[in-house]
Structure 1
Amino acid sequence: MARNYKKRKKQRWLNFLLSLSSFFLILVAADKLNIISGWAQIITESSLLRILLYPLLICFVLLISGMIFRGVLWLKYRAETWKDCDCLELPVISVVMPAFNEEKAIARAIESVLSSDYPEDRIELICVNDGSLDNTGKILQQLKRKYPRNLKIIDLRKNQGKRKALYQGIKQSKGEIIITTDADSQVQRRALKNLILPLLKDARVGAVAGKVAVLNERKNLMTRMLAAQYSLSFDFGRAYQSVYGGVVCCPGALSAFRRPALDKVLRTWVRQKFLRVPCNHGEDRSLTNLILKKGYLVKYQSNAVVYTRVPEKLGQVNRMYLRWTRSSVRESWLFARYLLMSEKKKYYLLPAVDFFFQLMLHPLHLMLVGLLIYSFLIRPEFIFPQLLFLVILASGLSINNLKTLKNLRFLYTIPQALFTFFFQWWLVPYAVITVRDQNWLTK
């Protein structure tokens, strides 16, 4: 026990030093390359741009403050483990898996769930065939003969969308805990047990997010970049949010929900409309939002891992991010309204602070892209220092991934960050304009 404590303490200090070194690396680079003074000079030379000086400085200060705030929380994160918890009784769980045209992946997905280390007599897998047009239905019937006790199939004649398919599966489930996963994903053997542990240990927890990793990571540069992005999003983003119990999105690929928490929000969730338009995508973020509003905590388990396939081409990636951004715009607006109108504001202080920092990222992103383009037009010699600073900034961010990836794969965070900065700045403005569009885009 003492040895493990010393090991954890040593690891915590190592993580702290890595984060601190990346922070100072960015500050030193900004000073040596005269980034701040160069930007200030460019802005002050133009009477039109002069009004951007103080907003830019404010956003930059808030960005640094947000990095520190999140970094401190991240260093406190620890996943729950089964050590000293063997006395806890494992409940009956229901795994709900919607499927639409997944003939190539559905068998592996089902095998991964039913070959996990969860007791066979306490798990049911409900696969909802959402009007598939390929051989998904036939494959499901074959698997039903192999797993007659544990596999239940629901066939929907017409494609109704992921949200309604999940709803049908949840309604017919029997477990005390509901787990959602995707038909193109594969769960690790111990993922299910690790995922439900926070629900067993703390009655205040209403939902738990699992860790999504990339199954086809080695396919090309794009998939490697997405793997780095997923790692940062989960092992940093959801990890620090888990410290205060405010994880904002339980991914559809692997999440667990307490049944009483689901029962309180299920009907509202499946009937959700925004600007009078029925909501089709963003079902995971929406469900998490509703559970948070009911006063439950939402946690993250980094040791509950699921592998999922990601898009391999640029067009597919952009369409995926656009769908996510549209639902993020919608749910962020709804969450902001709730934070402002809630009578229990003191309980939502940390989520509100984090939400505020998150809002500052998009205006800063747009201002920096605009400033970079403008500086290229009037001071071409200043472009190289700015590009070098962006590379150093991306390198500093990549150090956070070193904690979890623990090999040279963390370096793919650098091209991913640069790709986001230069080629995805348009996502938020376009998503705001087209937020009513509910097209899935990647199916």
Structure 2
Amino acid sequence: MNRRSAGLIVLALALLAVAFLWLEAGTIPWYGLTLVSLFGIKIGFSWRAIDRKAATEPEIAQLASFRVGTAIPVYNEDPELLARCLESLLAQTRLPESIAVIDDCSNDSAAIDVARAMKPAFEAAGVRLLIRQMPVNRGKREALITALDMQPDIDTMLCVDSDTVLLETAVERLLPAFLDDDTHAATGLVLPLNFDKNLLTRLTDVRYANAFLFERAAYSSLGSVLCCCGSLAIYRAALMRKYRDDFLGQTFLGQPAVFGDDRRLTNYALLEGQAKFQSTSVAFTAVPERLGHYARQQVRWSKSFFRESIWAVGHLPTKRPAFWLSAVELASWVVFSLALVISLIVMPVVVGQLLIVPLLLYVMLLAYARSARYFEVTGLHRTKSDVFIGFAIAPLYGVFHVTVLVWLRIYALATLNRGSWGTRKQVEVRAHQPIIQASSGSE
């Protein structure tokens, strides 16, 4: 049985279980029906998505002509992780023309010293390795634009987080998205590097796989990926130059916008045209191993979700799918959050009835349905047993979402006027995995 067939069977069983719950209850809740319908449409579009590839000699020549620059912002990074990041770039089947490593005034120079030591290796490969240390901490946006300014002759900007390790074919398989002139940004499949560290990282692994193979794949079939992941994203350099002043000067509720750079850049791409997902371009990134670190990250991401979704609804043309996808994401979050509050607080007070049990049943069943494509990560630094464990605990992520993540997002909404980064003050995740190499599972 292939991975897609296994996913289809899981999807069918999960949806049949939901239908059985409705049959037993003797009613079909409007919210549940809407949720399942949207889910069915999304999973259908996710399987419809196809990676762009060079099919003709002129297209192959066009890819070869692209001058690819790279931006790697660094801030209080583990030196070993940065070394692995740079080594993975040096091993690419399609090398970038240049790489700019921007240290945003870290507490020490250990990581940037690693980059300096690797300069001869990059020079030998014909890649310019540019290094800049900022005199004061200015944030990731400033680091990205500094990298752009240091590479004035590039056509595309590859953005890679300093704790990310790329499969050797990542750049080669990401770049073809730009064969379509209307595509201005693209992202690849990003999975946790340290997925097997503890329960939190395994749950994060399931979430990442779903976020890319389910959500981004579905939106990519409409040319409307709403967020190109900062761990592995590529933009047309002309796009970044056009919007550089707005990017650096963006404010929200009177505060400088210091996070959400990946969503903002993606919004610019959607304003100009399309943003795509290339599933065979793969990278692995270090994810939080402690709940406190994870919570800060989620609050930061949630704030950028609200801010940039509101911007998208207010600025994207209504004829673009991205406008409607942004509106639906905002509306569905509001409705789901209200349903949760009603189930946990209103119903027990008003009628003495606690509805959390049926809600959790729906959440757990849909967690399995959402994970129908998780089997496709087998071989990507994951054995069959790793994938089985991840799939088995998928409902736990659904429960975690309801009991923790929704409330973190509500907190983020309530504190939108606070501009704090919430970023690390010191190294929080250290390398403990071997160097990632390409595998047969990357196809």
TM-score by length of 1: 0.84
Q: How far off its partner does 1:441 sit?
A: 1.4
Q: What percentage of residue pairs aligned between the two structures are identical?
A: 25
Q: How far off its partner does 1:416 sit?
A: 1.0
Check if 1:402 corresponds to 2:381. Answer: no
Judging changes above 3 Å, is the alpha-carbon distance between structure 1 residues 440 and 369 closer, same or farther for their aligned structure 2 residues? same
Select which of 401, 410, 416 maps to 1:429: 410
Aligned to 1:80, the other structure's residue is in SS state coil
Judging changes above 3 Å, is the alpha-carbon distance between structure 1 residues 398 and 15 closer, same or farther for their aligned structure 2 residues? closer
Q: How far off its partner does 1:414 sit?
A: 1.6
Task: Report 1:55-134 matches (<5 A).
Answer: 58-82=30-54, 86-90=60-64, 91-102=66-77, 103-119=79-95, 123-134=97-108
CA distance in structure 2 between the aligned counterparts of 1:400 and 1:137, rounded to whole angstroms: 38
Q: Is the 8 A contact 2:10 2:368 kept in 1?
A: no
Q: Which amino acid aligns with 1:177?
A: T
Q: How far off its partner does 1:11 sit?
A: 7.9
CA distance in structure 2 between the aligned counterparts of 1:379 and 1:69, rounded to whole angstroms: 36
Judging changes above 3 Å, is the alpha-carbon distance between structure 1 residues 18 and 279 closer, same or farther for their aligned structure 2 residues? same
Q: Which has the larger radius of gyration?
A: 1
Instruction: Report the equivalent of 1:332.
Output: 309
Select which of 145, 155, 158 maps to 1:179: 158
Deviates more, 1:360-369 or 1:202-211: 360-369
Q: How far off its partner does 1:258 sit?
A: 1.4
Check if 1:285 corresponds to 2:263. Answer: yes
Q: Unpaired runs of 5+ in structure 2?
A: 379-383, 425-443
Task: Report 1:236-385 matches (<5 A).
Answer: 236-294=214-272, 296-339=273-316, 342=317, 345-346=318-319, 348=320, 350-374=321-345, 384=357
Q: How far off its partner does 1:275 sit?
A: 1.8
CA distance in structure 2 between the aligned counterparts of 1:337 and 1:236, rounded to whole angstroms: 26
CA distance in structure 2 between the aligned counterparts of 1:351 and 1:288, rounded to whole angstroms: 11
CA distance in structure 2 between the aligned counterparts of 1:326 and 1:116, rounded to whole angstroms: 34
Judging changes above 3 Å, is the alpha-carbon distance between structure 1 residues 208 and 261 closer, same or farther for their aligned structure 2 residues? same
Q: Unpaired runs of 5+ in structure 1?
A: 1-6, 38-56
Judging changes above 3 Å, is the alpha-carbon distance between structure 1 residues 411 and 321 closer, same or farther for their aligned structure 2 residues? same
Instruction: Report the equivalent of 1:157.
Output: 135
CA distance in structure 2 between the aligned counterparts of 1:389 and 1:203, rounded to whole angstroms: 42
Judging changes above 3 Å, is the alpha-carbon distance between structure 1 residues 35 and 152 closer, same or farther for their aligned structure 2 residues? farther
Instruction: Report the equivalent of 1:23.
Output: 15
Residues 289-316 of structure 1: CA deviation (Å, up to 9, x unaligned): 122112x211001111111101111121
Q: Which amino acid aligns with 1:140?
A: A
Deviates more, 1:407-416 or 1:186-195: 407-416
CA distance in structure 1 between the aligned counterparts of 2:232 and 2:174, rounded to whole angstroms: 9
CA distance in structure 2 between the aligned counterparts of 1:381 and 1:236, rounded to whole angstroms: 32
Q: How far off its partner does 1:24 sit?
A: 2.9
Judging changes above 3 Å, is the alpha-carbon distance between structure 1 residues 35 and 427 closer, same or farther for their aligned structure 2 residues? farther
Q: How far off its partner does 1:382 sit?
A: 6.9
Aligned to 1:105, the other structure's residue is in SS state helix
Q: Which amino acid aligns with 2:245?
A: R
Judging changes above 3 Å, is the alpha-carbon distance between structure 1 residues 412 and 12 closer, same or farther for their aligned structure 2 residues? closer
Q: Which amino acid aligns with 2:114?
A: I
Deviates more, 1:78-87 or 1:164-173: 78-87
Judging changes above 3 Å, is the alpha-carbon distance between structure 1 residues 246 and 385 closer, same or farther for their aligned structure 2 residues? closer
Q: Which amino acid aligns with 2:20?
A: V
- C-alpha RMSD over aligned residues: 2.6
Q: Is the 8 A contact 2:7 2:375 kept in 1?
A: no
CA distance in structure 2 between the aligned counterparts of 1:139 and 1:351, rounded to whole angstroms: 41
Q: Which amino acid aligns with 2:328?
A: F
CA distance in structure 1 between the aligned counterparts of 2:376 and 2:14, rounded to whole angstroms: 13
Q: How far off its partner does 1:175 sit?
A: 1.9
Aligned to 1:106, the other structure's residue is in SS state helix
Deviates more, 1:137-146 or 1:165-174: 137-146
Judging changes above 3 Å, is the alpha-carbon distance between structure 1 residues 364 and 222 closer, same or farther for their aligned structure 2 residues? same
CA distance in structure 2 between the aligned counterparts of 1:141 and 1:385, rounded to whole angstroms: 57
Q: How far off its partner does 1:404 sit?
A: 4.2
CA distance in structure 2 between the aligned counterparts of 1:152 and 1:398, rounded to whole angstroms: 41
CA distance in structure 2 between the aligned counterparts of 1:28 and 1:104, rounded to whole angstroms: 51
Q: How far off its partner does 1:67 sit?
A: 1.4
